[in-house]
Structure 1
């Protein structure tokens, strides 16, 4: 089904299409920008602005959930116009612009929240068209490997972002302006690479129904697609955001607060090493079992939080498991969904599943932030463990 859209030079066994490598470079640069913000925001919001956990949960939920509606919009527009690259470029551009708007928000929690939402809206707009470009350029038996390679390159950026933030903070202290400026510069370079080097096959896919809102909704009538979408959303309800995971690991292990911006670096290193091998494993043994296995690894991270004072050893173990969780879930989910969706609705189908996941994670961040503010640390972690256990069991039944 996909071979017609892959150039002969890209069909060589063991290689992924050039489109995947070009998009991987775009994601690498963009993730340097995004992960600089991920590393900086917990310190900035909790230490500089003195927000409580409930307020942080709301802002973090916005940061995660603001992608939701625009994932559907981006998916539908790119399918409707067959201009996946153009729609993705708008999303990348929106995120780049927001980096230069953060200094204007100052210390206003509302202004920062609105800017964070706009930044994530850009991510929502671009995610489905980008993944559609990858899936349409790749033979179906190599989808796991292709998404693994893309996520590996993406993770190189996720590795560099926190490191750059840490080095900046070491030199200038907790000063927001330079962090936002450097982050914005990387985002703009990523946009330039997308426009200049990513190629989109000009032939309109002819396999499947014509793109339309009704056709997109009709995907939920397919039993396999519906079960994957529901299972992903259920798991999202029990998945704590990266920011909360890093904050909890710091509190549980009692390592210095100054190491908090470096924790995403540990997750990224493991993700970098494991994304491609786990993508290939998913191609061989099944993508849904690997996806669920990743959430079992996340459960182990939650359990480790109940062992206080474990120090640097505890941090290393938690970040190892957290990185493996992402390697087993991020690209693997897109590889699982892609074969279930007609070519003409590829971006819409991916967006539908990603939207359910984003909305569920928004609820998770707000609820957990409130729980952490009102209950004890131990009780909040136990609640997170119980929720994830139930979610994994439900998702397993939906396999």
Structure 2
């Protein structure tokens, strides 16, 4: 098993490195942009364009899965060139550019799908290099806390994005152009902050084998790394996308459709409060235990969907559990994987795990979309519960 080495010149004991704070600011601004679009899309596609759940599932799958292959590319290029910041900047820039394309494609489903795929391709390129920058600047015993701080700042953006969309829709109606233009502006500011304020030390050689595709694949020979990679992918197969969770919660609780764009706020607020403490808890009791526990919380969300007509109380409980699920998984997994990968292959190692998750979540979105389209609501929910129970058991037995 590989363990990250510590460079005292770059890391200050007991404190979150400046690199983490700077990248957190970038993610905050970028997530405002991304979550504006995420909050707007279900209403726009299902209500305005009258798409069916199957079509929505395909587009949502593209939105999730388009990152898959490019995560590997981003990780490989970053490790081979030692330019994690430059690769991340390209990814952030690509996502920012797509926000200006959305208004041009209008109601064309193919154009929307292609633009969503390009947006997520940018995310795929930047995620592993960004997480590598965080892990390389942080002592191994503080990784959970560092990723928790980063994800907390990221979640401030996730909290503000839907609110900005809601305010725009309230004042101008369901009009796509202004939403995407404002979203693009936030993304551009985030890119500027990355270029101007994130520091990267490329002069010092990183420990471990020379980066290459062969070396990246060789990581799977390590038993712990292989088990974590496969288990994370299995759990991704049974994890419904945020869009479907919010749609199901709205349908199950019978709250007005107008509340749908605001639901991400609840998840983001809980995530914001809990990400730091849960990250520190993961450092103390074990990151994989916390990661699996998060999926048990997600299972509780699915079970709540079987109690119809619970109104805003049901929405509140579901979003509380959903936010805790993210606190226990997003960032905690990256912290766990970082301790299994040598520094020279850090971005590549993270990207392999993230790619497995992205591919299985693509399958999940497409499959559940068709299931919700052609089966009863209860049948779809029971299928989701069964799949998640099986996945948690398999992941637990594997690790």
TM-score when scaled to structure 1? 0.98
Q: What are the superposed Cα offsets for residues 155-193 of structure 1, whole Å, 9 maximum, x if unpaired?
A: 000000000000110000100000000000000000000
Question: C-alpha displacement at 1:203, in angstroms?
Answer: 2.6
Q: What are the superposed Cα offsets for residues 338-380 of structure 1, whole Å, 9 maximum, x if unpaired?
A: 0100100000000000000000000000000000001000000
**Cα distance in 2 for residues equivalent to 1:22 and 1:397:** 38
Does residue 398 in structure 1 map to residue 369 in structure 2?
no
- List alignment gaps of at least 5 residues for structure 1: none
Question: C-alpha displacement at 1:6, in angstroms?
Answer: 4.4
The aligned runs of 1:94-243 (5 Å cut-off) are: 94-243=94-243
**Cα distance in 2 for residues equivalent to 1:328 and 1:65:** 22
**Cα distance in 1 for residues equivalent to 2:74 and 2:377:** 39
**Cα distance in 1 for residues equivalent to 2:179 and 2:302:** 30
Q: What are the superposed Cα offsets for residues 248-280 of structure 1, whole Å, 9 maximum, x if unpaired?
A: 000000000001000000000000000000000
- Tell me if the contact between 1:28 and 1:157 (Cα under 8 Å) persists in the aligned partners: yes
**Cα distance in 1 for residues equivalent to 2:7 and 2:271:** 32
Residues 12 and 342 of structure 1, relative CA distance in 2, 3 Å threshold:
closer
Give 3-state SS (helix, strand or coil) of 1:101's partner: helix
Does residue 3 in structure 1 map to residue 6 in structure 2?
yes
- Tell me if the contact between 1:92 and 1:123 (Cα under 8 Å) persists in the aligned partners: yes
The aligned runs of 1:16-165 (5 Å cut-off) are: 16-165=16-165
**Cα distance in 2 for residues equivalent to 1:201 and 1:42:** 42
**Cα distance in 2 for residues equivalent to 1:98 and 1:365:** 22
- List alignment gaps of at least 5 residues for structure 2: none
**Cα distance in 1 for residues equivalent to 2:230 and 2:393:** 13
Question: C-alpha displacement at 1:4, in angstroms?
Answer: 1.5
Q: What are the superposed Cα offsets for residues 202-254 of structure 1, whole Å, 9 maximum, x if unpaired?
A: 23433111000000000011100000000000000000000000000000000
The root-mean-square deviation of aligned C-alpha atoms, in Å, is 0.8
Give 3-state SS (helix, strand or coil) of 2:331's partner: helix
**Cα distance in 1 for residues equivalent to 2:369 and 2:138:** 40
Q: What are the superposed Cα offsets for residues 79-111 of structure 1, whole Å, 9 maximum, x if unpaired?
A: 000000000000000000000000111100000
Give 3-state SS (helix, strand or coil) of 2:28's partner: helix
- Tell me if the contact between 1:205 and 1:343 (Cα under 8 Å) persists in the aligned partners: no
Q: Which residue number in structure 1 is paired with residue 376 of structure 2?
A: 376
Question: C-alpha displacement at 1:33, in angstroms?
Answer: 0.2
**Cα distance in 2 for residues equivalent to 1:148 and 1:84:** 20
**Cα distance in 2 for residues equivalent to 1:75 and 1:202:** 16
Q: Which residue number in structure 1 is paired with residue 293 of structure 2?
A: 293
**Cα distance in 2 for residues equivalent to 1:31 and 1:275:** 16
Question: C-alpha displacement at 1:299, in angstroms?
Answer: 0.2
Q: Which residue number in structure 2 is paired with residue 319 of structure 1?
A: 319
**Cα distance in 1 for residues equivalent to 2:350 and 2:38:** 24
Question: C-alpha displacement at 1:2, in angstroms?
Answer: 3.5
**Cα distance in 2 for residues equivalent to 1:203 and 1:12:** 22
Question: C-alpha displacement at 1:398, in angstroms?
Answer: 1.6
- Tell me if the contact between 1:231 and 1:394 (Cα under 8 Å) persists in the aligned partners: yes
**Cα distance in 2 for residues equivalent to 1:344 and 1:6:** 18
- Tell me if the contact between 1:66 and 1:118 (Cα under 8 Å) persists in the aligned partners: yes
Equivalent pairs counted in the alignment come to 396
